[in-house]
């Protein structure tokens, strides 16, 4: 999963072959070095196994819905980039 979904779509991955159809730009933003990409990418599956449910690690990553003042409908694509 990581190699097929996260790595190609990580912000700063300059090797992305696809380009924005309107601007022609890389959809992942300005290219970053491989060291910076690795430093910005946690080993998420490994992190999940280290933490019990609802500990501080999860609380830091959970949104505070009481701060939402305008609701939004978001349609996500779990199959990959559109």
Residue 17 CA to residue 57 CA, distance in Å, equals: 34
pLDDT digits (tens, 9 = 90+) for 26-50: 888 889 999 999 888 877 778 888 8
**Torsion sign over Cα 38, 81, 2, 73:** positive
Query: Where do the structural domains in the chain lie, given as residue ranges?
Result: 2-63
Tell how many helices (H) and how many strands (E) occur in the chain: 4, 0
pLDDT at 82: 55
Confidence (pLDDT) at 47: 84
Please give the model's pTM, rounded to 2 decimal places: 0.52
Per residue in 43-76, pLDDT (tens digit) is 777 888 888 788 999 899 898 989 888 877 877 7
Residue 9: pLDDT over 80? yes
Are the beta carbons of 13 and 34 closer than 8 angstroms? no
């Amino acid at each position: 999963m990581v190699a097929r979904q996260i790595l190609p779509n990580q912000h700063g991955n300059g090797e992305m072959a696809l380009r924005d159809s309107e601007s022609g730009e890389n959809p992942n933003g300005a290219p970053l070095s491989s060291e910076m990409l690795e430093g910005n990418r946690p080993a998420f599956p490994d992190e999940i196994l280290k933490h019990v449910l609802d500990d501080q690690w999860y609380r830091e990553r959970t949104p505070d819905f009481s701060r939402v003042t305008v609701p939004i409908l978001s349609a996500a694509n779990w199959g990959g980039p559109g």
